[in-house]
Structures are given as structure tokens and as C-alpha cells.
Structure 1
Amino acid sequence: MTESADTREADLALKAKHRAMWALGDYPAVATRVVAGLGPVLVDACAVKEGDRVLDVAAGSGNAAIPAALAGGDVVASDLTPELLAVGRGEAEARGAVLSWQEADAEALPFEDAAFDTVMSCVGVMFAPHHRAAADELVRVCRAGGTIGLLSWTPEGFIGRMFATLKPYAPPPPPGVQPPPLWGKEEHVRALLGDRVTDVVSRRQSIRVDAFSAPGDFLEFFKAAYGPIIAVYRYIGDDTERAAALDTALTDLAAGALRDGAIDWEYLLLTARRSD
């Protein structure tokens, strides 16, 4: 087998693992119970209006795609994991939102160049393993003068620190795979987009999460619902000592961040205009 064929096989295997990981647990419950407010924030920042052609990349169950459709956008929600799209379809129907749902790899989007007025992603594209490839696709499918909008967890924020806590217990990433929270650093995103965009506006904000009144509540919910955490515990397997150590580390993380019954989760909100 040639090196390029080996690379393609490895990439397909990696994407299959990512697809399976996000199907674990109940990510839609995280989207609706914990971070529902993020989607409307991104839609507002992108100024989606009636008739805009909108692509939500790594849309999950539609946290941003559904509000964009309700704002009048002609929306396509794309994601690698069909199980999430299926939940999104039901949620959209319940809310009276009309949009399209399409299984797609963020690093190889099945859309024509310049097909959309707005290309956005809400804590989604940051989990694509190859940042440059994903960024290139975001730019490619956005028309000249169109908007690219990204909302990503920061490395220093609660979720960024959660991934740092998981790292010693997780399998080593394959070569070339970059940490998701790098998308929460403005300089990293600017470097990915380069001179293909102008009018970059970014700011760090937080969503106040009051779904967990105690650190143990956070641990219990995320161990049951959040695919990346479930995958790490499965990797640990029957090693009860390491599992207990990770329980303690995650509980301590939540305990240190909990203030007055809530935790502030920091994110980077960045918008830019596709260069002419």
C-alpha cells in the first residue's frame, strides 16, 4: 500500500472514531440543558437575516443551526455524526424551524466554492482533528464578502481545563492532530484564516452554567452524556485506580470553578469577512 493510501486509511479510521465518540452518551442533552444559549449568541454575531444562505459546520443537533433558521436563514446543518443530526431534525420540527441536514466531514465539505453567505460553527469545528484542513474548508465555501463566525472553548476556560485534565488518562493523539481548545486562541484562528479574511472581530465571553449545584452532579452528568469523557473512561477500562483518580480530578476541577451554584465557561467568539 502506498504512503498516500496509508494516510487515507488512517484518516478514515480516525474520522470513524470521532463519529463514534460523538454518538456516545447524549450530547444533545448537553446542547439543550447546559449550553443552549451559545447558538443564539453566534447567530446574532453573524447577523443572520432573512434569505441568507447559512452553513453550520459540525452542527451537532442544531444548537446554532436552528436559531439561524428561525432568524430567516436558508440553513444547512452539517455534521460527521448522523445520530446527532437525527436528534436535530426532531428538535427543529418541534420548534417550527425549517432547514436541511447533511452528514459531512468538516475537513472535506461536500459543497461548492462560495456557496454560502454565512459559514459558522458553534463549539463544533474546533474538534476536527486537522485545523488547517478545516479552516480551509470554512473559507472555501464562504462567498467573497460573506461572514465566517466561530465560537470555541478557550484553553484557559473551564472546558479547556477539562480537556487538560483528561489528557493524562487519554490515548495519545495520532500524529498531526491538534488540541481542540487551540481554536479558542485568537492568534491561532487568525493564522489559520490568514489574509483570506478581513474585519476580524473577536472577544472572550462566558456562559454561566447553573445546571450543576455540586461538583458530583457535573461528574455524573458528563460521564453519562459527554462523548469525549465517556471515551476516556472506556480507554481506562477495568483500571479502577485510574478511573477513581480521574473521578477525583474532574470533581476537583468542578469544585474549584463552582461559584454560587454556577460555573462560568469561557469561549472565544470570532467573526470575519471573507476577502473579495
Structure 2
Amino acid sequence: MSATIIDRELEAKHRAVWALGDYRAVADDLVLPLGSELVAAAGIQSGDRVLDVAAGTGSAAFAAAALGARVIASDLCPELLEHGRAAAAARGADVEFREANAEALPFADGEFDAVISSIGVMFAPHHQRAADELIRVCRPGGTVAVLSWTPSGFIGQMFATMKPYLPAPPPGVQPAPLWGDEAHVRTLFGDRVDGIGRRRGALAVGRFSDGAAFRDYFKANYGPIVSAYQSIDDENAAALDAELAALGDRALADSPTMQWEYLVLTARRR
């Protein structure tokens, strides 16, 4: 088990952010295909011991379980875990849901054949701590695989749009979309892995008629944006409204379908 000392105040803040809105809707309506994409990239097979880190409501965990893997889905947010357990019961899926901080996973060294995270671990505040944990709980020769939004893609641009309206993060906290930068992740993993594979893809999102529809959906459902609006005054909220709608309109300028870029990176633990 990790000996990392956790900032409990920061942990509580992150837990509360992801309980806001309705991430289950986001997972089911928009990002569900990413779980299967990551599981395929990781080469997960029947019988593998798999840990899905920052699993949310479990889309990647369910995809791995469908292949016959033995899966634990861990997340910091109890509300998301409850949604995942309910979904598992409805599906008849054999997935265990456990509350856990990605920076201090309550699992033994080398416990899993594959350690995966789909747009999840990228939101852990301290990237090196989280990367160290992904590698620690993966067995030598096992697979670590992460799928993350890229800094230059649509979701990365969304977070960049929000940044001027938010308080500065605590010292040492890094921007989530850096996990979508291959060089950054290679540095985090260092010489503890080899056989690195990578590919960029784009999630096609055709749900929104215009930028305002995108903005309003995320304001209602996506925890980080709900939290952002709670922290600013009416004048700044109106300005952020306009910027997010404009971002959405630009993404829809040439097509009714948005393309949200992501990076999949896989590696083998040495």
C-alpha cells in the first residue's frame, strides 16, 4: 500500500466537485465509447486482474468485465461509485467498486495484470504521485493504459477557457489535460516502463445543436463546470457563459458533430 501523505482538504474538495451535477449522464450520453476504446488498447483478456483507476461510473470497468476480466473499479467519489454499483447490478456485471484516492491506492504492489484509467486519473491533482501509483500496483510485465483529453483538443480548450475565471490552484497541482501530452506522460512513467504505444483519436459528439446547448448541458451536469460557476459572481458568470458558447460554436462551425481529441497511451511495466 502507498505511503503517500494525502492533503485531506484537497481530497475532500475534489470528491465534492465530482459529486456535483450528474456525471452519470455525461458518462452515458457522451463518453461511454471511450471505456471500450481503452480496454481494447490495453489488450485485456479473460482472467486478467484489472484495476480501473478514477473509474467514475465504470464504463471501462464494464468493458473489461465483459471480456471475462476480474475487475475492481476505484474512485474517490462515493456518489459515482453508487451509480456504478447500481449499473453493475442492472447489467449483471461482475465488477467490484472501491473508494480510493488515485494518489494512494489501497492495493498491494504488483497486484494487477492491467491498470487502466479512462479520462479519470488525469484529474488527480499531483500527476507524479498518481503515475507512481499506477505503476506500483501493476505487476512486472503488466500493462498500464491511460486515455486522456489532450491540451489542444476541445475539452482541453474548455478547461483553458475556464482557467481565467478560477482561483489559482494550490502549489504543486497540475492541469489535467497535461495527461494528454505524450512527452509529459513519458516523463511521469520514466524508465519504469517500456513497450510504449500511443494513438490519438477523437470522440464524435453530435448531441449539441449549438454552443449554447453544449454550455447549458455542461453547466447542469459536469462537476468541474458546476463548481466553477458556483465560485464566481454574476458578471464573470455571464462572461464565461459567452466564452463557452463561443467555444462550442467554433467546434460546430464546419460540422454538426464535435470532435473531442484524446490520447491513448499504453506501456508495459518493467
Using the size of structure 1 for normalisation, the TM-score is: 0.95
Find the partner of 2:244 among 229, 243, 250.
Answer: 250
Deviation at 1:213, TM superposition (A): 1.8
After TM superposition, give the deviation of residue 8 of structure 1 in Å: 5.7
After TM superposition, give the deviation of residue 260 of structure 1 in Å: 2.4
Q: 1:93 deviation in Å?
A: 1.9
Q: Distance in 1 between matches of 2:95 and 2:223?
A: 26
Q: Does residue 132 in structure 1 map to residue 128 in structure 2?
A: yes
> Are residue 110 (structure 1) and residue 114 (structure 2) matched?
no
Matched AA of 1:82: P
Residues 50-95 of structure 1 show CA distances to partners (whole Å, capped at 9, x for unaligned) of 1100000000000111111111110000000010010011112222
For the Cα contact (< 8 Å) 1:216–1:251, is it kept in 2?
yes
Per-residue deviation at 1:97?
1.0
255, 261, 265: which one aligns with 1:260 = 255
Runs of 4+ in 1 over 3 A off after TM superposition: none
State percent identity of aligned pairs.
60
Tell me the SS of whatever aligns to 1:86. Answer: helix
8 Å contact 1:114–1:143 — kept in the other structure? yes
Root-mean-square deviation (Å): 1.1
1:177 pairs with 173, 183, 189, which one?
Answer: 173
Q: Distance in 2 between matches of 1:104 and 1:8?
A: 14
Q: Structure 1: how far apart are the matches of 2:133 and 2:55?
A: 15
C-alpha distance in 2 between matches for 1:122 and 1:28 = 14
Is the CA contact 1:48–1:72 (under 8 Å) kept in the aligned structure 2? no
Q: 1:219 aligns with which of 197, 212, 215?
A: 215
Which amino acid in 2 is paired with 1:272? A
User: Which residue of the partner structure matches residue 22 of structure 1?
Assistant: 18
| Distance in structure 1 (CA, Å) of the matches to 2:91 and 2:40 | 18
* 2:149 corresponds to which of 153, 168, 171: 153
Q: 30, 44, 48: which one pairs with 2:40?
A: 44
Aligned length: 266
2: CA distance between counterparts of 1:255 and 1:62?
A: 30
Question: Residue 58 of structure 2: which of 58, 62, 70 is its match?
Answer: 62
Distance in 1 separating the partners of 2:36 and 2:176: 22
Please tell me whether the aligned partners of residues 213 and 262 of structure 1 are also in contact (alpha carbons under 8 angstroms): no
Cα deviation for residue 18 of structure 1 reads 0.2
Q: 1:31 maps to which residue?
A: 27
Q: What residue in structure 2 maps to residue 167 of structure 1?
A: 163
Q: What letter corresponds to residue 65 of structure 2 in structure 1?
A: A
Gaps (5+ residues) in structure 1?
A: 1-6
CA distance in 1, matches of 2:128, 2:54: 15
